[in-house]
């Protein structure tokens, strides 16, 4: 599998840690995304996903209108570089039981890559392999 560079989502929703989980949920719904990157003073400090919201509501029974993202977010997010290989990203997702990785080039936040993005890369590679094998067999 190739590097993840081409599949990094660079148009990422950033939300301040003091916004509510309800605000984050509305944005995720409107933009058809499963996560937002949490910031403090324009610095990335965590990741908030739809799974975090559901977990908080179901287990702790708190009201998303009053709960701040900083109370629910994942401060220990997994970071990778743009040159990371897809296989390694999938391994990291399995290991950390997550579906999103934050991409950093050194200390600079670049974007996010999701399990869906990685599966598309894998599918594209398999389709290309099938085309090559078909050409080989039929020529």
Report the Cα–Cα distance between both ends of the chain, in Å, rounded.
Answer: 26
Q: Is the pLDDT of residue 136 over 70?
A: yes
| Backbone φ and ψ of 3, nearest 5° | -70, 165
Give 30's Cβ-side CA count (13 Å radius): 8
Q: Which of 33-42, 45-54, 95-104, 116-125 is predicted with the least confidence, judged by mean pLDDT?
A: 116-125
| DSSP code, position 1 | -
What is the per-residue pLDDT across 61-94, written as a single tens digit (0 to 9) for each? 888 899 999 999 988 889 999 999 888 999 999 9
- With 0.75 as the threshold, say if the pTM is over it: yes
Q: Is the pLDDT of residue 1 over 80?
A: no
| Backbone φ and ψ of 49, nearest 5° | -120, 165
Q: Is residue 121 very low, low, confident or very high in pLDDT (cuts 50, 70, 90)?
A: confident
């Amino acid at each position: 599998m190739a590097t993840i560079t081409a599949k990094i989502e660079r148009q990422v929703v950033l939300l301040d840690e003091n916004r509510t989980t309800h605000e984050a949920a509305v944005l995720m719904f409107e933009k058809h995304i499963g996560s937002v990157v949490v910031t403090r003073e324009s610095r990335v400090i965590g990741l908030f996903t739809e799974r975090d919201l559901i977990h908080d509501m179901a287990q702790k029974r708190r009201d998303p209108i009053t709960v701040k993202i900083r109370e629910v977010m994942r401060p220990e997010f997994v970071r990778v570089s743009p040159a990371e290989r897809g296989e390694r990203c999938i391994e990291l997702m399995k290991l950390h039981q997550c579906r999103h990785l934050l991409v950093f080039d050194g200390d600079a936040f670049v974007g996010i890559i999701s399990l869906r993005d990685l599966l598309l890369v894998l599918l594209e590679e398999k389709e290309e392999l099938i085309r090559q094998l078909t050409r080989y067999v039929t020529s």
